[in-house]
Amino acid sequence: MAKTDKAKIFFQHVMPKHLISRLMGKFAAARAGWFTQTFIRWFIRQYKIDMSEAIEESPQAYKTFNDFFTRRLKPELRPLKADDDELAHPVDGAVSQLGEIKDGRIFQAKGHDYSLQELLGGSEEDAKPFMNGDFATIYLAPKDYHRIHMPCDGVLKKMVYVPGDLYSVNPLTAANVPNLFARNERVVAIFDTEVGPMSMVLVGATIVASIGTVWSGTVTPPTGGRIQSWSYPASGPAAIHLKKGEEMGHFKLGSTVVLTFAKDAIEFDDDLEPRSTTRMGQVMAKIKAETKESDD
């Protein structure tokens, strides 16, 4: 590893990650007038963001950095291309890793894997349906659209808030920080879907000011030192049904989404591999025929 990379990893270990992230969160939520506008314009230039994709193209339309960062895109630019027998990509980003969950472990990078059960908050019951299933880890870069959508129809079963560290999430930290995705603060959403059980794990990172969902608003912050969970009814007026392509959550400053599926439920698209670019609504995977038949 290069000396500069070693220095970056060392700094990740020693820096006050929560303090920096919460201070950034306060700035991102502040209406700081010309200073906010100057920072937004710098951010657009720095990360080469195509503002023509946004519903509000002018930086002046955004009163806070959070408003800008969670900007909505013109819907015609992210059409839902996945058919009834296909899953859609939930986010704009890039594939970090994908594949089989082997012996309850998820591959992170060469030389590193981590526990499925730990990722989901420590419950053996929650992890069991995904044993020997499949996973996909998708990284959202600063330039990306940061709203998260459903890859298929689903009914929310459970949400879990898991406290943790706030390491940066990128290829360098994935290759050098053990247990990264099961180590960072995260929000776990578990759904019953047309392909069986599915979890979507929204992983926090350094300067990620907030993680929210459409059914509960901001989940973190505030944060806590213990795992918290919420259960939801499967039917009735209080049940939370979300259709494929509907928004399910967001990052205010972005990170990573880890998806898990049951064994033999899906088959990832042939062209999908690490570093593949993803666009919300495009085809992520095929629903296996036996899965569809059992659901029918």
> What mean pLDDT do residues 143-159 have?
96
Tell me the C-alpha distance between 38 and 284, whole Å: 37
Q: What is the pTM of this model?
A: 0.89
Let me know: does 88 contact 289? Beta carbons within 8 Å: no
**What does the pLDDT look like over 177-198, one tens digit per residue?**
888 888 889 999 999 999 999 9
> What mean pLDDT do residues 37-41 have?
94
CB count, 10 Å around CB of 292?
15
**What does the pLDDT look like over 71-103, one tens digit per residue?**
999 999 999 999 999 999 999 999 999 999 999
User: What end-to-end distance do the CA atoms of the chain give, in Å?
Assistant: 52
Say which DSSP state 102 is in: B
Dig out the tokens for 239 from the structure.
Answer: 């049940």
Q: Which residues of 45-59 are buried (b: 16+ CB within 10 A; e: fewer)?
A: eeeebeeeebeeeeb
Active site residues: 92, 149, 255
Q: Please tell me the least confidently modeled range out of 42-46, 91-95, 183-187, 283-287.
A: 183-187
Give the pLDDT confidence score for residue 137 in this predicted structure.
Answer: 96
Q: Which residues of 240-276 are buried (b: 16+ CB within 10 A; e: fewer)?
A: bebebbeebbbbbbbbbbbbbbbeebbebbeeeeeeb
